[in-house]
Amino acid sequence: MTANIYFTGGPEAWARYKLPLLEALASAGIEAELTNECPDPAAVDYLVFLPGTVSDFTPFTRAKAVLSLWAGVETITGNATLTQPLARLVDESLAEGMTDYVTGHVLRHHLGIDRFLTATDWVKVVPPLARDRKVTVLGLGQLGTTCAAALAGLGFDVAGWSRRPKQIDGIACLSGEDGLAEALARAEILVLLLPRTPETESILNAETIAQMPEGAVVINPGRGALIDDEALLSALDAGHLGHATLDTFRVEPLPADHPFWRHPRVTVTPHIAAETRPATASKVIAENVRRAEAGEPLLYLVDRGAGY
Ligand code: NDP
Ligand code: OXD
């Protein structure tokens, strides 16, 4: 049987994904009709989904699954028309990219690199050793765990916080409200790798920022909505926070008049922390199609109740 697969992204994404998807599907032994046009939604077996495309899933009456090319699925978890199983992306390249981004930006702040980029004086500002620097990662999922482990591998004193209790070698694992307070109180550098859900919305706000140590740094490749922007700006202005490196925003692209662009203590990166790479992501999609066709459970199913 031929599986009809509809790639929902626009022409630019289609140009990048068409061949890798066809190759991955062929390697997985799937006979597939892959299309970027959808004359008959009722004939579609699988949707390979990008955010900002399909919003009404009702006409996809035959679809066996919606397979997201993004890890974050907050744009569709609440969509009542989506009755099909939803799988998110878990991919080695995403984890590698995120690890590069997080370790790079943590090291920048840990070593105080900015100071030396423009220094013209011989002032020895010696950074502590990594083992004496406390880093907290909020979110210990696929990406948070990989980043926390990489930071611990560099010698940092790492704690992580998750919804459910966890045990990970080399990481002080915390959960629950008390765990959050402890995680924040120690966070000289705080990395946000939580999904956007009703529970995590504005988790970094005036109250939680106040629990962080003076001069702490925030790095947010998770989602913009995790942060109350006004509270962050106030804490930066007051010097309570030393810097914020932000990759994700409530509105993207970040509007030209947003104060983050001009703030001396904010670094903006344009949602590039971990880009989905077609070659590896296509293999994940193909494996899930193979599983569905073989009647095996899908990988990386989203818990719609939890929102991620
Ligand atoms: P996962 O779903 O694997 O992990 C999410 C983590 O957050 C889990 O540890 C989960 O806890 C924890 N969590 C969720 N809700 C809560 C809560 N209410 N309280 C405490 N902890 C909570 O996601 P990933 O690691 O794959 O990705 C994380 C996020 O990174 C994505 O959702 C996306 O928003 C963002 N992202 C950003 C990219 C970029 O380029 N900037 C690229 C890719 C992803 P538990 O372990 O108990 O379930
Ligand atoms: C993702 C992202 O969720 O790129 O995959 O942010």
Quote the ligand 1 centre to 123 CA distance (angstroms): 40
Per-residue tokens: 112: 């105080």
Segment 145-170 shows an average pLDDT of 98
**20 and 41 assigned to the same domain:** yes
Q: Which residue has the tokens 């999922």?
A: 141
**76 and 197 assigned to the same domain:** no
Give the tens place of pLDDT for each residue, 102-156: 999 999 999 999 999 999 999 999 999 999 999 999 999 999 999 999 999 999 9
For residue 149, being part of any structural domain is answered with: yes
Q: How confident is the model at residue 8 (pLDDT cuts 50, 70, 90)?
A: very high
**177 and 212 assigned to the same domain:** yes
Q: Is the CB of 277 under 6 A from ligand 1?
A: no
The per-residue pLDDT for 1 is 76
Atom of ligand 2 nearest to the CA of 274: 4
On the CB side of 198, CA atoms within 13 Å amount to 6
**218 and 180 assigned to the same domain:** yes
Active-site choice (271, 277, 290, 291): 271
> Ligand 2: which residues within 6 Å by Cβ?
70-72, 89, 276
Nearest to 208 by CA among 218, 198, 221: 218
- pLDDT of 173 above 90: yes
**164 and 254 assigned to the same domain:** yes
The per-residue pLDDT for 272 is 98
Segment 234-254 shows an average pLDDT of 98
**35 and 99 assigned to the same domain:** no
Strand stretches in the chain, DSSP E: 3-7, 32-35, 46-49, 65-68, 86-87, 134-138, 157-162, 172-175, 189-192, 216-220, 241-246, 266-268
Residue minimizing CA distance to atom 20 of ligand 1: 163
Residue 133 annotated in active site: no
The per-residue pLDDT for 253 is 98
Nearest to 241 by CA among 261, 269, 220: 220
Atom of ligand 2 nearest to the CA of 275: 4
**289 and 234 assigned to the same domain:** no
**66 and 103 assigned to the same domain:** no
Query: Best mutation site among 89, 143, 268, 299 for ligand 1, i.e. most ligand atoms within 8 A of its Cβ?
Result: 143
- pLDDT of 35 above 80: yes
**105 and 131 assigned to the same domain:** yes
Name the residue range of residue 122's domain: 95-268
Domain count, the chain: 2
Query: Which ligand is closest to the CA of 308, given by its number?
Result: 1
